[in-house]
Structure 1
Amino acid sequence: MDDAIGQTTSAILGLTKPTSQPKSASAKSLESAGNRWGQAMANMSSYDRMRQLALYLLCWGEGAQVCFMSECLCFIFKCADDYYCSRECQDRIEPAPEGLYLRSVIGPLYRFFRDQFYEHPDGVFVRREKDHEDIFGYDYITSLFWYPEGIAKITLNDRTRLVDISPAQRYMKFDKIEWRQAFFDQPIS
């Protein structure tokens, strides 16, 4: 859906730099995006379908607690797929370092989620004394990925917004994302 409607919507909301004129209202509807996605799937080769399925299952299988945050997992998959299809990845001679996905993508998200429930004074994890309404749980964390406005809050440690980076380069920037800033920027509802 990101390619079908996300870029246009983000440009209209001022979340990304516009690259072309916005499409008509009918072209921006969710139904229209779904139709374009369905057409893209129909045109996709069997190889690409299997490749995407395998990539998604790899992301999900190694995702730890993130596998319970479906929209977050889909965002990770989208960024990984954009990178995999990029010239940068295809021209790469050396394989990615072992453990890159867990260390750069899942680890930081898992630590943010874990730290909502536990603190670790003296190296021992102890459950935080917080009301449920003051904790960023699965539903709250995944809601960041529902709308372009939420995704636009994801910034790197140099304050660059992830949406301002080329889609093909986003995945390799995950280790620089400031997750606390993205989530604490929005109120808990």
Structure 2
Amino acid sequence: MKLHYQGTYDLDPDSLPVAPARKNAVPFKEPDSTEKIAWIANGIALVLLVVLAVPIVLLYKTRLIFSIGFWGGAGLSILTCFPHEILHALCFKDDVYLYTNWRQGMLFVIGPETMSKGRFIFMSLLPNFVFGLLPYGLGLLFPSCSVLLGLGWCAIAMGAGDYLNVFHALTQIPKGAKTYMSGIHSWWYMPQENEDR
């Protein structure tokens, strides 16, 4: 993997890296701009914050939600933004490009290489497990680790755009197909229909 930090995304989809077109490739049915992706992802994030607060309140009433440790952990989640994207990048074998898009509240990576459906899903979920689910679960089990609980609570919600990608992969990529990113879109194709793969 070779990581290229591209700085601030200029909101021009034509400036993003593109992959070579594949024979009979099918684009994901997904939002057609980063602005729409941001709106949907932020809506999912808000819902997740509410849903994930429910087990905390059911188990510990409001004791942990109003603790300094919990909100300190929630604040620490901001520090995971770049490491989150680095974990995505580590799942690529070739060139991968990291962009910041603070204006729309997101950071993202694009790697135009071909990968299996399973690797695409793993790549999408890895940082959400490491920074989100794992600390959230530990914080629920061990209330003295309220910092971890707050970190996981926020970090899970911050992965909303990744869950959108996973949903598209699970509902649109058929068995045996390969996928790749090109610009702001993802595509899938059947490898036997492409002579070079």
TM-score calculated relative to the size of structure 2? 0.31
Going by fraction, where is helix more abundant, 1 or 2? 1
Q: Which has the higher contact order (CA 8 A, sep 6+)?
A: 2
TM-score calculated relative to the size of structure 1? 0.32
Going by fraction, where is strand more abundant, 1 or 2? 2
